[in-house]
Amino acid sequence: MASKLPHLLLVVSTLLCSLVHAGYSSSGGDESSGGSASNSIGTSKCDKNPLAELTFQLSGSNLHWPCDSTKNIYVQSGRYVPRNVIVTRAQLQRDTAFVALPRYKQGVPFTLGKVNLKKGECLTKIAPYPCWAIQEEGNCQALQSVVDVAVDQNGLLWTLDVGIVNTLEQPIRRCGPKIVAINTANHKVVKSIDLSDLVTAESRLQFIVVDYSKDNKPFVYVADAGARSILVYDITGKKSYRIVLPKATAPTSDVLYVALTSKADGTSTLFFSYLSSSRLYSIKGEYLRVGQGAGSIIDVGPKPYGKQAVLLGADGGTSLFFRYKGENDIYLWDSETCFKASNLQEVQRGGDCRLSTQVLPGHKRFMWALESNFHDFISDRTGCNGASIVLHPVVKECDD
């Protein structure tokens, strides 16, 4: 897939140039701000994606409720505050997106959701997944705060639940951290893994990745930024490891980004880097799966131009996606090449209002970008409408 992706992006770019030169326009005359509640697509300076029919706006004000009375009860009790809801991570499976809605603030009614990606439903509702019962805050058999999700090759949805709510206000530890796996075919929980024995008082779990060995055994990797570690869980063998990363990899334990690449022969590599680090690192899956960290970590190289870079995701092959801190242009790097500026390919020019939090493969064979004004959300600058969240294909528009 990695080798096909640039071609796909080029085809899309050519198509967009044709549309522009033919006088095609998906935008109207209204230029609303990024925090507006406009339901239209392509009418805001923040929404420049020409593939309007494949651009989905998500909002904490547009959730799916069983009935109005239930919604009213949640609102009146303070369990639903629309502006406090934000989608930060997603996974795509055919025309469905599974999304993480962390309970960063009070008033998030559910923390794992599902969105239908169907043409004509640009402002689409977010429904709890797999059901309302599993979303109950304070019930340790339920999900407390899902910060990341991953769908594997067998259709299992793996969720990382940190067990702590209201993390941006007054943090409350409701339950221990856990990984919950859900079969997306029948929507049943098939596994729950308690991570309490793998974490420390300093732990801050942030991202989850699922890997399969060449003999088809599943493993889960979790980024623990606070403890400078990668947690490894052998699903079949029911064994776990905590690989402590060298101090040199973490100037400041801020955000520990991870992304997994895979070659055609099944060889996998986990790339990782702290936001504040000036370098990118990697470790092969074969070493992670046996808990071998010492001597196995590779210094891939310095980040281009000395800038802080955000690792946005992988394409399912050997390519990774990046953006620079505070910037929204998206770059692709084939990990089979040397990690340097000349090997980074710009695949999307970003807007001014939102920043990409993830790039992921999926629906209609596109690479997709999840964007939001998360920077406004964490500083309470979104207003009563809450966060501006958009899911759309990664496309590069031609120059006029």
Mean per-residue pLDDT for 194-207? 97
Mean per-residue pLDDT for 136-152? 98
Query: Can you spell out the DSSP letters for 69-92?
Result: HHHHHHHHTTS--GGG----EEEE
Q: For residue 350, name the pLDDT band (cuts at 50, 70, 90).
A: confident
Predicted pLDDT of residue 352:
67
Q: Which position has the higher pLDDT, 177 or 24?
A: 177
Predicted pLDDT of residue 46:
53
Predicted pLDDT of residue 19:
27
Q: Which residues have CB under 8 Å from 130's CB, separation 6+?
A: 182, 187, 188, 189
- Topology, domain 49-393: Neuraminidase (2.120.10)
Mean per-residue pLDDT for 308-327? 96
Strand order in the sheet with 309-314: 309-314, 319-324, 330-334, 344-348
CA 162/CA 148 separation, integer angstroms: 9
Q: Which token pair is 310?
A: 């955000």
CB 146 within 8 Å of CB 111: yes
Predicted pLDDT of residue 245:
95
CB 316 within 8 Å of CB 322: no
Predicted pLDDT of residue 41:
27
Residue 372: name the closest of 331, 324, 311, 328 by CA: 328
Q: For residue 2, name the pLDDT band (cuts at 50, 70, 90).
A: very low
Predicted pLDDT of residue 120:
60
Residue type, position 230, single letter: I
Residue type, position 101, single letter: L
- Which residues are paired to 90 by β-bridges? 99
Long-range contacts of 288-297 (CB under 8 A, 24+ apart): 288/211, 288/219, 288/221, 288/230, 288/232, 288/241, 288/243, 289/211, 289/213, 289/219, 289/232, 289/234, 290/241, 291/232, 291/241, 291/243, 292/243, 293/230, 293/243, 293/244, 293/245, 297/245, 297/246, 297/249
Mean per-residue pLDDT for 72-100? 97
- Which residues are paired to 333 by β-bridges? 320, 344
- Asked whether the predicted pLDDT for residue 382 surpasses 90, the reply is no
Structure letter (DSSP) for residue 13: H
CB 390 within 8 Å of CB 371: yes
- Asked whether the predicted pLDDT for residue 22 surpasses 60, the reply is no
* 305 Ramachandran zone, left/alpha/beta (phi>0; psi -120 to 50): left
Q: For residue 384, name the pLDDT band (cuts at 50, 70, 90).
A: confident
Mean per-residue pLDDT for 106-131? 90
- Asked whether the predicted pLDDT for residue 319 surpasses 60, the reply is yes
CB 26 within 8 Å of CB 41: yes
Q: What is the pLDDT of residues 240-269, one digit of tens each?
A: 999 999 988 888 879 999 999 999 999 999
Is pTM beyond 0.85? Reply is: yes
CA 168/CA 185 separation, integer angstroms: 34
Mean per-residue pLDDT for 186-205? 97
Q: For residue 93, name the pLDDT band (cuts at 50, 70, 90).
A: very high
- Asked whether the predicted pLDDT for residue 9 surpasses 60, the reply is no
- Asked whether the predicted pLDDT for residue 15 surpasses 70, the reply is no
Residue linked to tokens 């977010």 = 126
Q: For residue 399, name the pLDDT band (cuts at 50, 70, 90).
A: low
353 HSE (CA, 13 A, CB side): 17
Predicted pLDDT of residue 161:
99
Q: Where do the domains of the chain lie?
A: 49-393
Cβ-count burial of 342 within 10 angstroms (0-12 exposed, 13-18 middle, 19+ buried)?
exposed
Q: What is the pLDDT of residues 47-78, one digit of tens each?
A: 555 577 889 999 999 999 999 999 999 999 99
Mean per-residue pLDDT for 343-371? 90
